[in-house]
Structure 1
Amino acid sequence: MMSESDRRQITQAQVAKDFDDVAGDYEDKINAALSFGGREHAFYIDVKREHILRLARDHFTDIGSIDVLDLGCGLGAYHAGLEGKFGELHGIDVSAYSVELAARRHPFVRYATFDGERLPYADGEFSLAFTVCVMHHVPPPQWAAFVAEMRRVIKPGGLALVFEHNPYNPATQYIVKTCEIDKDAVLLRPGRLRRLFARAGFDDVHTRTIISVPPAGPFLTGLDSLLGHLPFGAQYYLSARKPS
């Protein structure tokens, strides 16, 4: 994990190359970093996917009719469990090799690559855009532009969701420091992320922590939800609405 000043020297092209290089054994590297916690990456993917679906259902009358973008989709880890949930599901990433592998696994998703700056979509193309543990890999000078592009491609009244590592959680700090994939990461504090989205022109900007306890089963899931207003969760999500 880098300091923000050091991370400013990293370019999106370097990020793309780094993820091209690790795409083939990405899951193995993530699982190795998570091994001390006793659960594999798939467990945490399931947790966040359920949050995406819950938040979408809370915001939209019929999620089956909306077009959705996974921004920074990587290998499409969340996509298998989203098949048939939305009108169209799109995924985009700077890593061409990751997108190639994702497309082989999930033919129902419309994939694309981009340069990390301008998204190849029209203004207001998606009702929902989500990005999961991506922004800490974006060079800090480009955070504001990343959020602005996310806003541009969302329809008026649409929803943005961001999931990030919680820098206040000691276990998360340990995992990030010991994971090769996160060697260039700069973690974003929830308050800073909220300000980025508010300044970009989003409304109803909220953050909430998750995975304060492993949400396995109804009781622990309910407990994790109750603890969401406290800063203890391993990760957190931001939700924000583009004004109508």
Structure 2
Amino acid sequence: MSGFLEALRTSYDTVADVYAETVPAPEGLDALSRAVLDAFVEETAGAGVVADVGCGPGKVAGYLAARGVRVVGVDLSARMVEIARRTQPHLPFAVGSMTALGLRDGALAGVLAYYSTHHTPPEHLPAVYREFHRVLAPGGRLMLAGWVGAPGSEGERRRHTEAYGGLPVSYESHYLPPERITRLLQAAGLRVTATLVQEPDEGAKRFYGTFLAVRPRS
């Protein structure tokens, strides 16, 4: 396992319980973010299996399942998966990495990466996006959402040594400008159908980016 993945796994095992208690479920999102997530639900419900990669404690997977999506969750952290299995016992969850999902080509109707890719070093993102393309069926949908850099910027990298109330972690966050993420998705063979960039909330510094894409049928 790559060094950054091992550090992420250890870190999120450490913070998993606090994370599960403090991070809101999708019902607590702002109206616009929830609307985009609901649009992804509408596109994938009944279409086949959707993988929530970087599913954490399973709150988003539960939201999708309650709205008719056939969802499976995958997370690098065994502790996160343990919590997800306990809180969403009707759904399947597995320990795994988005760098190698262990699924056959074209197995999925959708991939959701919800605030789960910003710890990936930029040099590894092309392989991650190619993996999303590989496991999606032709016509399959991708929703990628998370923190991004300011549009037109060079992006930002931040090193974290503690999080969630001072717990020890060891990982980086990479805030890429949205136009760079779009180019990387396109280079992986995905057609980006929509991009939404939300300004930081009052008192916050981070932009939010949401990218909807599809694996072309041809």
TM-score, normalized by the shorter chain, greater than 0.5: yes
1:150-177 Cα offsets, whole Å, 9 max, x none, are 11111101111100113229xxx9xx98
Deviation at 1:110, TM superposition (A): 1.3
The answer on 1:193 being equivalent to 2:181 is yes
- For 2:112, give the aligned amino acid: F
Deviation at 1:28, TM superposition (A): 5.5
1:3-34 Cα offsets, whole Å, 9 max, x none, are xxxxxx95211111110111011146658xxx
Structure 1 residues 155 and 121: alpha-carbon distance in aligned structure 2, compared to 1, 3 A threshold: same
Structure 1 residues 20 and 213: alpha-carbon distance in aligned structure 2, compared to 1, 3 A threshold: closer
Q: 1:169-208 to 2 correspondence within 5 Å?
A: 180=163, 184-208=172-196
Name which of 205, 209, 213 aligns with 1:236: 209
Higher helix share: 1
User: In the alignment, is the contact (CA less than 8 A) between 2:74 and 2:97 conserved in 1?
Assistant: no
**Which range moved further: 142-151 or 45-54?**
45-54
Name which of 88, 105, 109 aligns with 1:127: 109
1:68-116 Cα offsets, whole Å, 9 max, x none, are 1101111112133223423521010111110111111012221111145
In the alignment, the residues of structure 1 paired with residue 68 and residue 41 of structure 2 have an alpha-carbon distance, to the nearest angstrom, of 10
Name which of 65, 86, 103 aligns with 1:83: 65
1:21 is aligned to: 14
Structure 1 residues 148 and 130: alpha-carbon distance in aligned structure 2, compared to 1, 3 A threshold: same
Identity %: 24
The answer on 1:92 being equivalent to 2:74 is yes
2:119 is aligned to: 137
- For 1:14, give the aligned amino acid: A
Unaligned runs of 5+ residues in structure 2 are none
Normalising to structure 1: TM-score of the pair?
Answer: 0.71
Unaligned runs of 5+ residues in structure 1 are 1-8, 32-39, 215-231
In the alignment, the residues of structure 1 paired with residue 11 and residue 35 of structure 2 have an alpha-carbon distance, to the nearest angstrom, of 29
User: In the alignment, is the contact (CA less than 8 A) between 2:26 and 2:60 conserved in 1?
Assistant: no
In the alignment, the residues of structure 1 paired with residue 177 and residue 3 of structure 2 have an alpha-carbon distance, to the nearest angstrom, of 20
Deviation at 1:131, TM superposition (A): 0.5
The answer on 1:54 being equivalent to 2:27 is no
User: In the alignment, is the contact (CA less than 8 A) between 1:167 and 1:188 conserved in 2?
Assistant: yes
Normalising to structure 2: TM-score of the pair?
Answer: 0.79
In the alignment, the residues of structure 1 paired with residue 86 and residue 190 of structure 2 have an alpha-carbon distance, to the nearest angstrom, of 35
Higher strand share: 2
1:147 is aligned to: 129
Count of matched residue positions in the alignment of Structure 1 and Structure 2: 204
